[in-house]
A and B are shown apart, each in its own frame.
Chain A
Amino acid sequence: MRIELRVEKVSNHKNKTISFFILLSLITLMNSVLAQDKVSPGAIHGNFQGDAQYYNPDSNINAPLVPEKMLMNGYANFNYESEHFLAGLRYESYLHVLQGFDPRYEGSGIMYRYLTYKKDQMEITAGSFYEQFGSGMVLRAYEERGLGIDNALEGFRVKYTPIEGLTFKGVIGKQRSFFNYGPGIVRGFDGELSLNDFLKSWSEKKTKIVVGGCFVSKYQKDADPIYILPENVGSYSGRINLQHGKISFNSEYAYKINDPSFTNHFIYKDGQCLLVSATYTKPGIGLTISGKRTDNMNYRSDRTVTGTLLNINFLPALTKQHTYQLATFYPYATQPNGEMAGSAEFFYNFKPGSTLGGKHGMNLALNFSKINSIDTVNTNNEKGYTSNFLKIGKTIYFEDLNVELTKKFSKKYKMIFTYLNIIYNKNVIQGEEGIFHANIGVIETIWKMTDKVAMRTELQHLYTKQDQGNWLEPLVEFSFSPHWFVSAYDLYNYGNEIKDKQIHYFGVSTGYTKNAVRMMLSYGKQRAGLFCVGGVCRTVPASNGVSFSITSSF
């Protein structure tokens, strides 16, 4: 009843309230029918996540006054699953939206709900669904809650496997945009063939081959008084995955027809993207080399929007995603308008007993990534530019060379040494002035003090002559198995040229975990910056306050 009242308070959500109760009724009906038929009645499972923060204004760090004082984002998933039938929904509440997330999420309601029926070779979903074709360069509907991204499709999806090894997918729908849907319709087909499953003569072969292809088209009405715009914009891709023993090779090429949009400054050029990756692995050693060329591949179901809204496709980043706080200061955001990216990753395990491995062994991980512009020649017309496919542009967007050495000294003591050398072109990545060169070093120690108590420390340092200068961060964390942890850190901008800006961003936090429930309480100052996942970023404003988060599942 509580949910019902809340939903009705929000305009535009009446239909979602109705769908919510229809779904509940269907689940109840299914359960009773299946119970009567002595068929397994299925199971209901779900989870909840609540993130709340109390904000203090802090002019020192430009943390704004938040009139509501406290804001919260909450999500609750409920899923029903039986042999042939699945149903689910997610109730979301943003009262009001946490700082740093798009304020247009404000409100409560159910934007994600689905019914799925699957039997034999067919699976049909009605309602909301996430989907990805290949690596996502043509279609990826996904949720990344930390970034405020949810571009779920609302419509129908059909999956059909006529023969083992061959799968077709078809989707049609509109993408979610906050508590509404984008104006465009997305239609797509995908086919994937696993030769080793499809052909009996290949089933025992050492070489594994999977090929696939997809086509996606979006429709958006052209009501623009200035431009003649394509209402149907098609995009397709072909892909191959090869594996032979220790070597694997993956590649996908995607193409998009003319798609003038806000993001590409309304040029009528076609777009393309090529992703190639080769890996060699055997126990104790691994090498991956990847390359990607992107040219005008921003693809959205609304040509006028910006940011992370209504993206139909996803262009994977080749850069390493770091977790240490100072290492995340300069994250790379994929540039869909054009980039030439390359990366190499190598790991090696020095065996216990070897000269460098010592008694307990040692792991070495090397990673290098570099992203430049593509080479372009301006055409001074609506096509925008021409570009030589293989030529690398002169502008460096990002470069990251990092080394990680993990050394176990005893069964109870381990150290991780990390070094990063980063070049960050803020002009391109954030549209603000600055090209920064940073050196970052981290020493992490993990000490199992007793069977139940462990201590983890981090000492991080960032050195740069640009931006806000040098930073230092010590961190200490104690975990008391199996329920509690407590940690404290002090992120200190001691190298800032402006004395008043030599700020300590300190923080303390504690967490409690029991069964499927995890709670965390934190207090501290957070610096403004970028938060990125997989090359997609959102701006996080500075804040000062108490935050509380809870997650649970059933």
Chain B
Amino acid sequence: MKNKILIQITLGLIGIFLYNACDYISPPYTQGTHSGPDTSIVMRKILIEDYTGHTCPNCPRAAEMLDTLISIYGSQIVPIALHVSDYARPEIHPDSSYNKDYRTVTGTDWDNEFQVSLVGLPHGLVSRLDHGTSSFIKSYSEWSTASASIASLAADVKLTIQNSYNTSTRVITSTVNSEFVNSLTGTYMLTIVLTEDSIIDWQKDGITSPPTNLQFFVHKHMLRGSLNGSWGDTVATGDIAKGALWTRPYTYTLPTNFNDTHCKIVAFIYNSATYEVIQAEFKGIR
């Protein structure tokens, strides 16, 4: 008798659980329009580093995700696409496909430090959140949630970029200014890199089986080099007072094979202990 009651209670609990533990979603499946950042205060921008490679068949999906996030958050997203690992190694083919080397010293340094390509491509980092945890390296489907967690946050630092570009010498002078909006503690570094957009070249695309070799793929936000090394310069350290300012000009000579109308300067400030990017900004050189 006692057992029968126990069984009935157990089955009853299971029934309640079954009834409540399923969320059936019916259309619409997508969220409404994003309200956009609050323009009355300095908002935190979201640095998305897309670790990619031209022979990585799933990497176009990550690029699409980056496009989607830019369509939602606009200029609040600061994108960088880094070509790294064997997937970015130049190859020799009769049709000259995949023969370019888009890897950079900075990209390789970051990849060696963060070991993103060891996890597999495509993966990426969102404002370098969660360093030291297994959530640090994010698949592209995690980027949207991670971005959403930052998008509504006020910034601790205001970052501005002023570029001047000499078209004959191809020298860029980029002056980066930072102002701490809140008082902080720690050491904060500024890294300034150059990205180039709309590079048309080969890309393997695994959306088909077998993967397609796309000859005219548009590579966006591609990391092309750094103005101050892979890890940047210290902008503030110790107890940093609200209102602390820092400014410095940097120069960079644009190689002739870079299209200057598609190049941008990307600057970001990160905590040297946690690597977390607390603010980022970008600006075209022309």
Instruction: Tell me the A residues contacting B by CB distance below 8 Å.
Output: 11-12, 62, 102-104, 160, 162-163, 166, 168, 177-180, 187, 189, 191, 215, 217, 219, 223-234, 236, 257-258, 260-262, 266, 268, 303-307, 382, 395, 427-428, 431-435
Contacts and interface: CB of A to CB of B under 8 A. Distances in A.
B121 to A, nearest CB: 11
Nearest to B89: A62
Given A102-B118, A225-B151, A232-B21, 11 more contacts: A104-B136, A162-B3, A162-B6, A180-B134, A217-B17, A225-B148, A227-B30, A257-B23, A266-B141, A268-B29, A304-B145
A258 B148 contact: no
B10 A62 contact: no
A233 B18 CA distance: 11
B132 A225 contact: no
A262 B139 contact: yes
A225 B144 contact: yes
B18 A225 contact: no
Contacts of A428: 209
B137 interface: yes
B281 to A, nearest CB: 21
Given A168-B10, A226-B68, A234 B134 contact: no
Contacts of A257: 22-24
B137 A189 contact: no
A103 B115 contact: yes
B22 A217 contact: yes
8 shortest A-B CB distances, which residue pairs? A217-B21, A262-B141, A230-B23, A234-B22, A178-B134, A304-B142, A427-B209, A427-B210
Contacts, number: 126
Interface of B: 3, 6-7, 10, 14, 17-18, 20-25, 27-31, 34, 57-58, 68, 72, 86, 115, 118-120, 132-142, 144-145, 147-149, 151, 206, 209-211
Contacts of B30: 226-228
Contacts of A223: 145, 148-149
Contacts of B23: 230-233, 257
Contacts of B7: 162, 166
A227 B32 CA distance: 9
A232 B22 contact: yes
B210 A62 contact: no
Contacts of A166: 7
Contacts of A305: 139, 142
A187 B17 contact: yes
A435 B209 CA distance: 10
Contacts of B148: 223-225
A103 B119 contact: yes
A228 B28 contact: yes
Nearest to A106: B115
A400 B143 CA distance: 40
Given A230-B25, A431-B211, A432-B57, A12 B119 contact: no
A229 B72 contact: no
8 contacts: A162-B7, A223-B145, A225-B145, A227-B31, A262-B139, A305-B139, A305-B142, A434-B210
Nearest to A215: B18
B137 A104 contact: yes
A435 B76 CA distance: 44
Contacts of B22: 217, 230, 232-234, 257
Contacts of A234: 18, 21-22
Contacts of B144: 224-226
B34 to A, nearest CB: 6
Contacts of B138: 304
Nearest to A101: B118
Contacts of B58: 431
Nearest to A179: B134
B276 to A, nearest CB: 14
A135 B15 CA distance: 23
Given A11-B132, A431-B211, A228 B137 contact: no
A178 to B, nearest CB: 4
A382 B29 CA distance: 7
B119 A228 contact: no
Given A215-B18, A427-B210, A431-B57, A228 B6 contact: no
A262 B210 CA distance: 20
Nearest to B72: A225
Contacts of A262: 139-142
B17 A189 contact: yes
Nearest to B114: A103
A180 B25 CA distance: 30
Contact of B139 (A225, A230, A304): A304
B211 A258 contact: no
Nearest to A99: B118
Contacts of A231: 23
Contacts of A433: 210-211
Of B10, B18, B135, chain A has the most CB atoms within 10 Å of the CB of B135
Contact of A230 (B10, B24, B86, B135): B24
B263 to A, nearest CB: 29
A104 B17 contact: no
A179 B130 CA distance: 13
A257 B86 CA distance: 38
A189 B145 contact: no
Of A217, A225, A227, chain B has the most CB atoms within 10 Å of the CB of A225
A163 B133 CA distance: 45
A393 to B, nearest CB: 12
Nearest to A236: B18
Contacts of B118: 102-103
Contacts of A268: 25, 29
B96 to A, nearest CB: 18
A13 B114 CA distance: 20
A306 B139 contact: yes
Given A215-B18, A217-B17, A262-B139, A226 B72 contact: yes
Contact of B31 (A219, A225, A306): A225
Given A179-B134, A223-B145, A307 B3 contact: no
A30 B132 CA distance: 37
Contacts of B134: 104, 177-180
Contacts of B27: 382
Contacts of B115: 103
Nearest to A229: B25
Nearest to B4: A162
Nearest to B123: A306
A178 B130 CA distance: 14
Nearest to B85: A64
Contacts of B149: 223
A160 B132 contact: no
Contacts of B119: 102-104
A228 B218 CA distance: 30
A233 B28 CA distance: 18
Contacts of A189: 14, 17
A441 B218 CA distance: 47
A160 B58 CA distance: 46
A262 B124 CA distance: 14
Contact of B141 (A168, A217, A304): A304
Contacts of B140: 262
Contacts of A229: 25
Nearest to B116: A103
A545 B135 CA distance: 32
Given A11-B132, A103-B118, A178-B134, A224 B31 contact: yes
